[in-house]
Amino acid sequence: MVTALFTFGKASREWHAQDRALAGDVQSAEDALGTATARLEELRRTAAQLSRERDSQRTELHTARSRLAELQSRLAVQQERLGRFFPDERWWTDEKHRESQTLWTDEAWNHARTDLFVEALRLHQAFLRTEATRMRRSLHAAMDVVTGDVPAGVPEEAVRAAWQSLFFLVPVISTTFASFDRVFSHLTQEALGWLFIDEAGQAAPQLAAGAIWRSRRVVAVGDPLQLEPVVTLPFAAQQALRRTFGVHEEHWLPGRTSVQQLADHTNAYGTYLPGEDAPVWVGAPLRVHRRCDEPMFGVSNAIAYDGLMVYGKISESPIELPESVWIDVVGAGSSGHCIPEEGAALERILTRLAHDQVAPEDIFVISPFRDVVRGMQQVARRFPGVEAGTVHTAQGMEARVVILVLGGDPQRPGAKAWAAKRPNLLNVAVSRAKRRLYVIGDRASWSTQRYFNILARDLGTLVLPSQPSAQPDR
């Protein structure tokens, strides 16, 4: 009071100011304490929630580990039981091993499948015994259908019933596209269950349209890198039809595609292979090759499949024959594409094979050109049983020994360029040979051609001695 009187109230004013400042500090501290307390409660709740989640995760982890241990134990049992039919670590990392295996098809599975098939046959047998008379009548009707003796007005249901009776006994019937419309003329859309098209890479799409229309399911099996369809309609006419019907893409032209290629376009699973103009899409490729020995496999794999094929042939006993080789023959002249010196070399090779007791039916002589085939057939007549034909006629066939006589008129180099335009022709020729391939032709001229340079690279060279009696060395 005295201080306030002597300072005319200044000290009192300062004190009140300090009091207000301290009161504000207290309020701020209390507010901060409240916020911190609330935050602490929030963190405690969060910690409690995280603790519960941790405990739940630990429980789930324990359950998962137990489940994993159980599955690993079961997998170990199945791996022990299935052996090489189980997808082990090697299956995932070794491409050749993976492509060569068929998972799950162990001995027990095969036995079960066989038992099921046998029981199905017994069921068929029991049905036939019970309904012998009715089935005999139905089969007679089926024979009338096959031979074309069915009147035009017969209901489709009756024809389909006759076919069903025949399929009951013979579940698979083989025919050609040329005769399909005649044999199955009374059937309409989706009347057949399955259609399997073999050599679909050589089938023109328009030829298969009726068969596909009559089938519910279609499996096209073929190779777009083997021989292509033979279309007789001139290319200019094909182009005119394409433009008339407003088709913009040329790959729909009959001369540019096949049943296999169109089927591949609809397949979401596959891979690309090198093509002449653009990569070729191949649907669901079967990559394991089991027909040819080397070097035929290697040549085919290199020229057509970009090395994607896997060698899967089971080893066979060695054969006492000269190794596959290119027999270099340079002709002095030609009759069309036929080179007389190549015909003489062919006769000497066939004589040697006959001397080595190679069965005639195990020998196939082929050429890209008809002129050469006519000359080869004259030589082959001296060796009864030996077949000779063009590469086109050889597709789908195989032989232990294949002799490829190249020919080629020296005055018409375009013929060699035609044979080498795509890998298809040489691929088919080489892959017909199971054990030996003997190529007869002018190595210098042919080895400059695309794809044939790979053949020349992988085959050794043999020049036959000039003496007619001499034979190729072993």
In 3D space, the residue among 434, 339, 345 whose CA is nearest the CA of residue 394 turns out to be 434
Task: Quote the pLDDT of residue 469.
Answer: 47
Please write the tens of the pLDDT for every residue from 128-161.
Answer: 999 999 999 999 999 998 888 888 788 889 999 9
Distance, CA of 203 to chain centre: 17
Q: What is the pLDDT of the chain when averaged over all its residues?
A: 90
Q: For the chain, what's the residue count?
A: 474
Partners of 404 in beta bridges: 366, 439
- Report how many helices (DSSP H) and strands (DSSP E) the chain contains, helices first: 19, 12
Tell me the chain's radius of gyration from C-alpha atoms.
Answer: 40
Mean pLDDT for 451-473 is 80
3-state secondary structure of 60: helix
Confidence of residue 102 (pLDDT cuts 50, 70, 90): confident
Region of poorest pLDDT, from 113-117, 352-356, 393-397, 422-426: 393-397
Contact between 166 and 139 under an 8 Å Cβ cutoff? The reply is yes
Query: Which CATH class, in words, describes the domain spanning 295-463?
Result: alpha beta
Whether the pLDDT of residue 470 is over 50: the answer is no
Boundaries of every domain in the chain: 1-80, 118-289, 295-463
Q: Please give the pLDDT value at position 411.
A: 87
Angstrom distance (rounded) from CA 452 to CA 442: 11
* 39-60 pLDDT tens trace: 999 999 999 999 999 999 999 9
pTM across the whole model: 0.78
Return d(Cα 16, Cα 13) in angstroms, integer: 5
* Choice among 1-5, 50-54, 137-141, 220-224 with the minimum mean pLDDT: 1-5
Query: pLDDT tens digits, residue range 189-209?
Result: 999 999 999 999 999 998 999
Q: What pLDDT is attached to residue 472?
A: 45
The mean pLDDT of 406-435, rounded to a whole number, is 93
Q: Report pLDDT for 60.
A: 95
More confident residue, 249 or 49: 49
For residue 192, the model assigns a pLDDT of 94
